[in-house]
Each structure stands twice: as structure tokens, then as C-alpha cells.
A and B are shown apart, each in its own frame.
Chain A
């Protein structure tokens, strides 16, 4: 299957789905780090749901971090 994290494609040949926690490690993210938040296909996923929320073929994860703003 293929998933996207912040627009970057990640081909995964052996899985049909993986947890958000596992997907984040593909992107070199430690899931318990506090300074990011996640949306799956445009819907917010809270930290407490990373292990139980599944990412499937064609899904997109957005991982956002603080930045300066007006």
C-alpha cells in the first residue's frame, strides 16, 4: 500500500494497514514527542488515539508543528 505523510509518499509492500504510531516512526517521529499534532485525511487524531487509529492505502497524514504567525 501507499500512504502519504506531509505530502511525501511511503510505499509499504507487506501491510494493508498500520497504526498512526507506526506511520509516524516512518517519518522519523517519536510518537510521544509533544510538539506536533496529527490529522488523518483532514480529521484530527488525538495523541491518545495514535495506537488504535489505522492508516490504510491511499490515506494522508499531516504532521504539524508550531511556527511564528500573525
Chain B
């Protein structure tokens, strides 16, 4: 069972960020331990003469080559469609990929995506040939509009970025899955613990994107491994078919021929 992103089949359903790790070495070990084949990264102002960006990029290229994976540039920090489109074009020139995690923030307090600017940006970028993976809120109609525009992958949030609060609104997330059965749905942001990721997969989500939950763990490498296992457990549970809940208790041990003291 593989994850399909714009026609690319990936063995792992986990997409992982490259920020906030205690060191580049721990980042690499954690990414390898997670089994992920998609690593996110970004762009920012730096002086190229200092070579810092070159070092980061070379290091991440080594990692994705080792896992036969892909880089996924994001548009973190953008507040308008225009900013996001410009940053997307800059990313495509540097990273030589048309994959893009589209992120347009609308509020400074909870870093909530701006749905209006997100739609505008997605439309322009799709028309320009990008494979857009929009990070959005868990609003069904917004997700439908993004899908109708041509976003084959939709990434609703579990909760605000970096909070680790997990799935704040399971009903919304389940409804999006139900109403968009053909979209590739990846839960992005707010994941705190492996059981959060497992729950998303049990809902039928296609994957999970996370960063802080691994990078900020006491042992990022072990946590990365735990997330990889949690996603697999949740996926297997979903595919196996979860039993229907029942209102009344039913004995799991057969009652026929139970000992005599239960018979009156």
C-alpha cells in the first residue's frame, strides 16, 4: 500500500519537516528512522556568501537521495497570494521541483491559513504548472474548492502549527474524508503524539505531515520511528475494517455451556 502524490508512489505515508532538531545529525537520523520519503524545507533571506543555505540544501539532498525521496518546499511566512506565488517560483528555480506545500497565513495568533488568499494562490500556481499541496483549515467547503481547482492533495490541519494538540475537530476531518473520497488527504500541523497520527490513518487519511512532534521530542530518533509505526498501525486498522460500535455489551467468550453456577 503506497501513498500517491501527483502520480508518484511512495512507500511511506509520513511526510516530515526538517526544522527545530537539536542538530543536523539528529535531523538526518530522525528522518531515516521515520521511513519518510518526503522532507519539507523553506527559503529565507540570507547572505549567499555565507554558504549556510548551500550547506543545508546539500545535506537535505543527501538525505532524500538516500531514501529515494522528494523535497517539498513550503511557502511559510507568506501572508498574501502574491507573496506565496513569488516564493513558489523562487523555490521552483532553486529546488527544481514543481511540488509545493502552499501555506498562506491569515492570523498571527494561531497561524491559521487564510482561505481566501490560499484559493487565489492555488489557482495561479496550478495554472503555472505547480503541483500544489495546500495547507488549510478543516473546512469542508474550502477543501472542496481546492480540490475542484485541481489540488489532488489537500492538507487540512489537525490543530494550529506547533501546538501538539492533536485532532481538535475529528468530526470535520471525518466529513472531509467522507465527502472527498478521491482526494489524497494528508493531515498537517498540530500532531503531538503517535496516537494522533494513528487516529488520522484510522479515519482513512492518506498520510500525515509533521515536524515539531518529532524534532521537539526528548529522543527525536525514537519518536520518528514511533510515528512511522503508528501510521502503519492506523493504516492497517483502516484497511482491515474497524468494527461498528454497539450500545450494549456482548460477551466475547461463548456463553453456551458455561459452568452450572450461572444457570439460574
* A interface list, Cβ under 8 A from B: 6-7, 27-30, 33-39, 42-44, 46-47, 62-70
Q: Cβ of B42 and Cβ of A42 under 8 Å apart?
A: no
* B interface list, Cβ under 8 A from A: 17-21, 27, 40-49, 52-54, 56-57, 60, 73-74, 76, 82-83, 86-87, 89-91, 93-95, 161, 211-212
Known A37-B91, A70-B19: A44·B211 in contact at CB below 8 Å: no
Q: Cβ of B54 and Cβ of A35 under 8 Å apart?
A: yes
Known A42-B86, A44-B86: A68·B42 in contact at CB below 8 Å: yes
Q: Cβ of B56 and Cβ of A28 under 8 Å apart?
A: no
Question: In the complex, what distance in Å separates the CA atom of A4 from the CA atom of B176?
Answer: 45
Q: Cβ of A65 and Cβ of B44 under 8 Å apart?
A: yes
Min CB distance A7 to B, Å, is 7
Q: Closest 4 A-B residue pairs measured CB to CB?
A: A65-B53, A69-B42, A70-B17, A70-B211
- For B77, give the chain A residue with the smallest CB separation: A69
Q: Cβ of A64 and Cβ of B46 under 8 Å apart?
A: yes
- The residue that B53 contacts in the complex, of A35, A47, A70, with Cβ under 8 A, is A35
Q: Cβ of B43 and Cβ of A67 under 8 Å apart?
A: yes
CB pairs A–B below 8 angstroms (25 shown): A7-B45, A28-B47, A29-B48, A35-B94, A37-B91, A39-B86, A44-B89, A63-B45, A63-B47, A64-B43, A64-B44, A64-B87, A65-B43, A65-B54, A66-B56, A66-B57, A66-B95, A67-B44, A68-B20, A68-B27, A69-B42, A69-B76, A70-B18, A70-B40, A70-B212
